[in-house]
Amino acid sequence: MSEHILMDGAAIGRTLTRLSHEIVEKAKGTENLCLIGIPRRGEIVAARVRALIEKFYGASLPCAGIDIGMYRDDLVSGYFVPDARVNSLGFSVDGKTVILCDDVLHTGRTVRAAIEAIFDLGRPAKIMLLVLCDRGGREMPVSPDFVGKNIPTSSRETIDVRFAEIEGEDSLGIIGKE
């Protein structure tokens, strides 16, 4: 196994900055926006984007993580009890434009689960998807609105995202299995 680093900390920072601007551009402002991240790295992406938007535009957007344990589509087929927690965002999603954040987009199953989880909490006006990396391999009709980097991968490869909050440094690499 070998890892090939595709983005270092600076590159990730630049990409998140670009994505933050793209959000405000596409949403025509910061009005009515909120950020929801899928644990664990999606929450970090959401928190960083929130900080960047606040820095550039002065708007303090509501931001929270959403647990998808209870919404996984393999609960019955895999027959397990999820280690889930109850979702309480601290703000309402009704009528909001939700920016759903994750680090890597692959099959789209996680995103589907997250959308269902959000709808159990209210009815947003719009959900947009932001991912740091899209590695392809979709199994659901899911398309991201904001993509940091497109990295087409085979099923034998994995994307390794490291964040300072967890691993002590930022990087994004590809691991190929021999």
Partner 1 sequence: MLGKDLLGLYDTSAEDITAILDTAVGMKKLLTQNLKKLPHLQGRTVTTLFYENSTRTRCSFELAAKYLGAGTVNISASSSSVQKGETLIDTGRTLDAMKNDVIVIRHPMGGAPHLLAKNVKASVVNGGDGMNEHPTQALLDFYTMREKFGSFKGLKVSILGDIKHSRVAKSNLFGLTKLGAEVTMFAPATLMPQGIERMGAKIAKSREEALAGANVVMGLRIQLERMHGGLFPSLSEYAKYYGVGEECLKFADKDCIVMHPGPVNRGVEFTSDVIDAENSEINEQVLNGVAVRMALLFLLCKNRQGGEKHE
Q: Given the rule CB under 8 A, which residues bind partner 1?
A: 70, 75-76, 79, 81-86, 120
Q: Smallest distance from the beta carbon of 122 to partner 1, in angstroms?
A: 15
User: What span, in angstroms and rounded, lies between the C-alpha atoms of 5 and 71?
Assistant: 33
Q: Smallest distance from the beta carbon of 132 to partner 1, in angstroms?
A: 29
- Taking the least distance from each CB to partner 1, the nearer of 79 and 156 is 79
Contact at 8 Å (CB) between 140 and 132? Answer: no
- Taking the least distance from each CB to partner 1, the nearer of 73 and 157 is 73
| The token pair that represents 59 in the structure block | 């708007």
User: What span, in angstroms and rounded, lies between the C-alpha atoms of 159 and 3?
Assistant: 9
Q: Smallest distance from the beta carbon of 114 to partner 1, in angstroms?
A: 15
Q: Smallest distance from the beta carbon of 86 to partner 1, in angstroms?
A: 4
Classify residue 86 as exposed, middle or buried by CB count within 10 Å of its CB (0-12, 13-18, 19+). exposed
- Taking the least distance from each CB to partner 1, the nearer of 74 and 169 is 74
- Taking the least distance from each CB to partner 1, the nearer of 47 and 70 is 70
Q: Which amino acid is at 15?
A: T
Nearest to 159 by CA among 141, 139, 133: 133
